[in-house]
Amino acid sequence: MQKEIVKTKKMVFGASCIASLKDGKTVFVPYSLPDEVLEISIVKEHKNYTEGKIEKILEASPHRVEPRCPYFYACGGCNLQTADDEYQHFLRKSMALEALDRALGLNKEKAAFDKPALEKNFFEKSIFVSGPDWDYRARFQFYIDEDGSLSLKENKSSGSVKIKDCPIAVPAIRNLLKSNLKEYTPNSRIHIFSDGEKIFTQDNAKECEVRLTGKRIKFNPLGFFQSNLEMTEKLINTIFEYAEISSSVLDFYSGVGTFSLFAYDQAKEIHLVEHNKHALAYAQENFLINSLSNGIAREKKESGFPKIFYHALDGKNWTKTKESKLKFDTVFVDPPRSGIDKEALSWLCSSGTRQIFYISCDPVTFARDTASLLVSGYKLEKHFLFDFYPQTHHIETLGIFRKDGDNRLYCYKPQKIIGCNV
């Protein structure tokens, strides 16, 4: 097996550091940190790069620590526990901003700027919002073994790893892990969610309920909901600190209506677009239960209730509806990891919406879609990074876009902009 001594450079999205081999080829080294001297073995060759494995750490980073979790190297969940918590914040921010920098061509050689569009040092002003580094994760999918013990997916494998604890889980789930679940079906999967006190599964509850910033939100245990509740509240509070809602709101990829729910007492009309009919049914219930509580109904008597419309459609089919021709003053967009689909992005770029709040779980697709919005005349006014997933390389992004005039970013070598006619 080929071995080499290398010095690592920067960490890239995915939590591997890059280094150069003697032949000049780039190698990606997982579990390494920047500026370490390592003896590595080559485990996989590709056309333009290789994958390496640490055999010996010759010069360790001052930020290197022992992983807190005994299952760290076997489990497929965390991949950054080798770095101290504060340094992890720096690494996640750096990886996310590099993805944007690469997609937008923000460097002196490749970009020229219209002053109203984007300052050269704009992303140095990105705001990093953090929360607890441990004991934060409220949602898991476990495998139940024959003996009732719980397992998580094994790293880079179809197998599983039995665990008795998980230091990133909320305390209620950590307590559950210490007991055997013999009442559940062996050799099956179980979806678990905790509101911090109760444990919800698909077997013991038809629905979960949490309270976020004073609102009740229901959803199915098998459905998607954010796994970090404290950071979700911070995200919601940030959005509505900057939102200027006067009339019509569109909640794109709405899920159970988490964001548009907080616009209820300001908007005159709300449209939710979500292809999952079950999630949309929960959104309808969430609007109902919150309109009848917390005094909202009494407060709205004089000003009138907003009209709420539910569209069980994907982005492509939404663009074909008559409602898509309406003018919205505010749009919330929270797409899956793959980003905004082509037709929906094209529609959004030409919609004339005054303000867009783009929430993303993938900095790479966020950067791609940001390029489209900027070229179509939007200005990226604020950029936040929310630390939803400590001990991993993942991060949640919030971009606040506004269109008050002709704000464009002209790139010397612009990459292909997907789905925008500009």
| 37: β partners | 7, 59
Measured CA to CA in angstroms, residue 102 lies from 42, 237, 336 at distances of 27, 30, 21
Closest of 408, 392, 292 to residue 11, by C-alpha: 392
User: Distance of alpha carbon 169 from its chain centroid, rounded?
Assistant: 18
Domain spans of the chain, in order of start: 3-59, 122-132+210-411, 139-206
Tens-place pLDDT, residues 384-396: 999 999 999 999 9
d(CA 93, CA 81): 16
Percent of the chain at pLDDT > 70 equals 87
Angle, CA 228 vertex, CA 287 and CA 162 arms, to 5°: 125
Strands (E), 134-258: 139-144, 150-153, 160-163, 188-194, 199-201, 208-212, 215-219, 248-252
pLDDT of residue 119: 54
* Tens digit of each residue's pLDDT (9 = 90 or more) over 24-56: 999 999 999 999 999 999 999 998 999 999 999
Is there a contact between 97 and 127 (Cβ–Cβ < 8 Å)?
Answer: no
Q: Which tokens go with 293?
A: 């509580």
Q: What is the mean pLDDT of residues 300-329?
A: 87
Are 382 and 399 within 8 A, CB to CB? yes
> Average pLDDT for residues 191-208, to the nearest whole number?
84
Tell me the three state secondary structure of residue 102.
helix
What is the signed CA dihedral for 399, 339, 159, 45, rounded to 10 degrees? Answer: -100
| CATH architecture assigned to 122-132+210-411 | 3-Layer(aba) Sandwich (3.40)
Our answer to whether residue 349 is catalytic in this structure is no
Q: Could you tell me which CATH number the domain at 3-59 has?
A: 2.40.50.140
* Binding site listing for S-adenosyl-L-methionine: 226, 253, 274, 334
Q: Which residues contribute to the annotated binding site? A: 226, 253, 274, 334
Q: Give the Cα separation of 150 and 136 in Å (integer).
A: 19
Which tens digit of pLDDT belongs to each residue from 73-109? Answer: 999 899 999 999 999 999 999 999 888 887 776 533 3
Give dist(CA 42, CA 54) in Å, integer. Answer: 9
Residues 379/118, Cβ–Cβ less than 8 Å: yes
Closest CA to 274 of 222, 216, 228, 314: 314
Are 415 and 370 in contact by the 8 Å Cβ rule? The answer is no
Mean pLDDT of 312-334: 95
The C-alpha angle 261, 356, 130, rounded to 5 degrees, equals: 75
> For residue 26, what are its two tokens?
């780039």
C-beta separation of 137 from 227 below 8 A: yes
Q: How confident is residue 182, by pLDDT bands cut at 50, 70 and 90?
A: low
Q: State the catalytic residue, choosing from 17, 208, 349, 361.
A: 361
Do the Cβ atoms of 115 and 409 come closer than 8 Å? no
**Top-confidence residue, 144 or 79:** 79
pTM of the model: 0.88
The model's pLDDT over 106-121, given as tens digits with 9 standing for 90+, comes to: 533 333 333 334 555 6
Residue 145's pLDDT band, with cuts at 50, 70 and 90, is confident
Q: Which two tokens stand for residue 268?
A: 């005159």
* Highest mean pLDDT pick, 12-21, 58-67, 153-162, 371-380: 58-67
Give the pLDDT band (50/70/90) at residue 157: confident
